[in-house]
Amino acid sequence: MKLAPLTGRGNYFEDFRVGNVLRHARGKTVEPLEQVWITNVTMNTAEGHFNEHLMKSSPWGRRLGFGGVTISLCIGLAAEDTAENALMELGLDKIRLKAPVFHGDTLYCYSEVLEVRDADRPDAGIVRFRHYGVNQDDKHVFEGERVVLLKRRAPWAGK
């Protein structure tokens, strides 16, 4: 199986320069599907994420999204551009949930390149991104850093 045609040609390690800011093309409306499926599959037992009856009488008046879903979706929206040619996700840091996300909200994501450096293997390099998530009202709901091991073009683009 040829590998390189399965993933993008413009998102290898060498394509990222410190200071670049990427606006990712797609947004995603967060349905109860994502919220409740991920909350329940990961066995998050906090019923504020899945008991609408209870939350109707809360200060928010409705179910709150699980922060893990906000983080996963914002990073997911950035993934085709920043993770498609990843060999391994290395870590996250300074993850901040800045405003609640509700069912039916729409998320958009932006990414900034903070650092590029060599890895301990010659066919890949390490990039540190800061991802930003905003909702349909341009409210900044998420921010966080992500460190990822990305393929270098020369050893991988011909495979």
Task: By CB under 8 A, name the binding residues for another protein.
Answer: 1, 3, 6-7, 26, 28, 33-34, 37-39, 41-47, 64, 66-69, 71-73, 75-77, 79-80, 83-84, 86-97, 100, 144
Quote the least distance from Cβ 17 to another protein, whole Å. Answer: 21
Token digits of residue 101: 């996300």
Output 76 or 112, the one with its CB closest to another protein: 76
Pair 130, 74: CB distance under 8 Å: no
The SS3 call for residue 23 is strand
Least Å from the CB of residue 130 to another protein: 14
Helix axes 67-82, 32-41, angle to 10 degrees: 110
Q: Between residues 33 and 137, which has the closer beta carbon with respect to another protein?
A: 33
Do residues 54 and 47 lie in contact, with contact meaning Cβ atoms separated by under 8 Å? yes
